Structure 1
Amino acid sequence: MLIQKNAKMISDHEHQHLISIEDRGFLYGDGCFSTAHYGRGEIQLWQRHLARFEKAIPALCLNCDMDRINTDKENFLNQISAQYGENAHGTIKILISRGQGQRGYLPPDQDADLYFYFYPQTAFTTEIPTLEKVGLMDQALSTPMQQLRGIKSLNRLEQVILKHHADQQDWQEALCFDQHDDLVEGISSNCFVYINGQWHTPDLALAGIDGVMRQEILSRMQHFQIAHQIRKIKRSELASVQAIFFCNSLHSMQIVQTLIDDNGEQQLNRAVCESLFQQLQLSDLS
């Protein structure tokens, strides 16, 4: 793993001392992050990740300008290339913390700390991943305050609890709902469902994260004139779902093989997803 903090590289023996216990990211989840795929010497969908930070930084009242993010990013990519070679693949996590502060919730007036992490990927495949078992969560996602809606903050406690529950059920992913029983997203992904011959993805106005890959897929659907709807999708509608796939910044498509719903196991149509994958030319994002 390669780590950079505020444009300074951190060596392996410094990892254990990297974060202070007084860091507000550790104490309060006071910050935001984005996770991206790295390949061909660049961060995939970088402009969409930047747009995520452009929204999150003012919403969280963080002191971190976009020029600094771009400059530190270029320095970090040069370090990756020097250490792992030009053909390296892997995952990059960009994390912004408000940094160390005094006791109490009042945020200090200071520059935020900016971290870049690189996790090299040893195995690489272009096959579309399959999720063998996906279930439906009973726990409802909370609706955040207006200012925090859609912000990928460091507070991921809901996802931690949901992932633990899914693992206990032997599910690779799960569909999550809000308090009105409307579909929102997966635990760590956005979702698209195929119902009555058309693709649908949930309206995220009240909860959930509008992920960078979701944005890219919707843009390509519009470009290639593929019929789709962004709307509220009730839990009860999933009884007639024909196909489902999840997407996030690391996977343009993860196809669901079996849905464990309220009526038992339902085998889904993989071919519909594979056809869409080809239509949207998603191989360049794999």
Structure 2
Amino acid sequence: KKQQKQIQYFLREKAERKHKQQILHDDRIPKFLERHLPFVRRMTRNLDQLVIVSSFASPPLKTGLIDRFLVLTELENLHAVVCLNKSDLAGSRKEVEKIAKIYADIGYDTAVTSAKKKEGIDALYTLLKNKRSAFAGHSGVGKSSLLNAINPELRIQVEEVSTTTNKGRHTTTKIRIYTLDKHTEVLDLPGIKILDFIDIHYTEARFYYPEFEEYAEYCKFRDCIHLSETDCAVKNAVEEGKISVLRYNSYCNFIESLK
């Protein structure tokens, strides 16, 4: 019975993802609809991975934003790398390790870096090597600084963080492509515009948080969305510390934004 429920859950998830992929990636998609799709959707055929860059401070860490980018990579079946930059500005090493562990435990490649102190740069480069990647994240998180740290010959203009808003100023206003070596290329995406919308129904959101899969099959209701339902195995897993509270709260906020 357990195996049967697990198979039903995975089949339903895969079927819905496949249907969404067919709609978004059909070569015959009407041009008027194509114009309204986020540009990252139109690039995914040519990308190996999306590198989600965030910072521990200046601007402050926003795990909810990381999670929304991860939803996009799950939707697109695109490999994701979580890069946590400016580790030198974190409150403590414990904080750095806690956040990094959340994403590493789910299975995402995770890099902790400090472009300023040249820490974690080699590890990040290893994740980029021989791939075509796109850097995405808030302005000011250090995307350009990281690329300069990997290859100083790039000499990319670095945006400053406003002391009044604590946000970066947009020096990248269009997609820029940088060659790190003969087989490694990085696209620097402007700001966070690729999240202009995510076209999924709020009841589908649960399928894009992979750590839910292990527990969702045991929920009382087949269509449980893990909010207010009784006997929800996912909520129980959160209470037991098996699923990150930060990730679950992010999921709840994400659902509200989709309604």
Q: TM-score, normalised by structure 1?
A: 0.27
More strand by share: 1
More helix by share: 2
Q: TM-score, normalised by structure 2?
A: 0.28
